[in-house]
Amino acid sequence: MLVLFNHPPSDFSEAALGIGATSRRDVGMAKREGKCVKTPVALTVAGSDSGGGAGVQADLKTFAALGVYGLSAITALTAQNTAEVTRVLDVPADMVAAQIDAVLGDFGAQAAKTGMLASAPIVEVVAERLAAHGVTNLVVDPVMVAKSGTLLLREDGIAALKRLLLPLAIVVTPNIPEAEVLTGRKIVGREDLYDAAREILAMGSRNVVLKGGHAEGDAVDIFYDGKDWREYSAARLLTPHTHGTGCTFSAAIAAFLARGYGVEEAVTAAKGFITNAIRHGLPLGHGHGPVNQFPWVS
């Protein structure tokens, strides 16, 4: 039986969603005063996951769950399920550029995120068009390898991402394997995480969230803005249903930025959102099932 809740249940509260009393009060007041309340808009530039668990599909579900209207520019088509990626087809770079121009030229966006970018030519046009449209709230998720092990960003693309895209980012969200590729260093202990975060910040992003989910023990993410450090710790959830974790987390940050949150506030809210999405992961398919952006629908 399908049960729809008008509000999220108690274990997925407004606090977990990151939608605080101030935001609700401001919207309510604006409506009472007859003001036009503009729907926040965010853009995802990423690959398509035919299984729906990651990529553009995960991003759009996350935007919708957080009250943000989602735009998309697809960089690659993947034949993918919970167990493997069987084929990848890059979208021509000029078509990626055309998608970005079409949606930003019409809707505009308060924030954007990038995911799978596949190759250097795609990275180059994405950086060029996002800069041309004045996108400042850019979340870069440096997607490189699928959970199944398939390479999603070629070597030339990694160099282009470091050179062209990271300097545009308000925040970059690598996991440990991605941070190792970006820095060329092996990350073993806690001090290695801090050193890698410093090195990645020096590549141009204004903030870094280095995700610790691949390390042993509790899942500890490190936030660094060049001055201050913050650790986000959550007990590790023992579940195989984690497909789309990184995509959903970075999309949630972008969604909260689009809603007007500051960077650290957006990261904090996104951490709560992804923790709940993992906790309510869906046991679908024969591999790693997807996280659940709508756990209040059962």
Cα Rg of the chain, angstroms: 18
Could you give the strand order of the β-sheet that contains 171-172, starting from the edge strand earlier in sequence? 85-90, 69-80, 41-49, 111-114, 138-140, 171-172, 208-210, 219-224, 229-234
Q: Which residues are catalytic?
A: 211, 242, 244-247
* Burial of 83 from C-beta contacts in 10 A (0-12 / 13-18 / 19+): middle
159's tokens: 């160099």
Q: Which of 209, 259, 270 is nearest to 42 (CA)?
A: 259
- What is the C-alpha separation between 194 and 173, in angstroms, rounded? 14
Q: Which of 15, 17, 37 is nearest to 26 (CA)?
A: 37
278's tokens: 């993992």
- What is the C-alpha separation between 36 and 18, in angstroms, rounded? 23
- What is the C-alpha separation between 275 and 43, in angstroms, rounded? 23
| Ranges of H-type helices in 137-262 | 155-160, 176-183, 190-201, 245-258
| Alpha-carbon torsion (139, 127, 124, 68), positive or negative | positive
- Amino acid making up residue 223: F
The residues that bridge with 10 in the sheet, in sequence order, are none
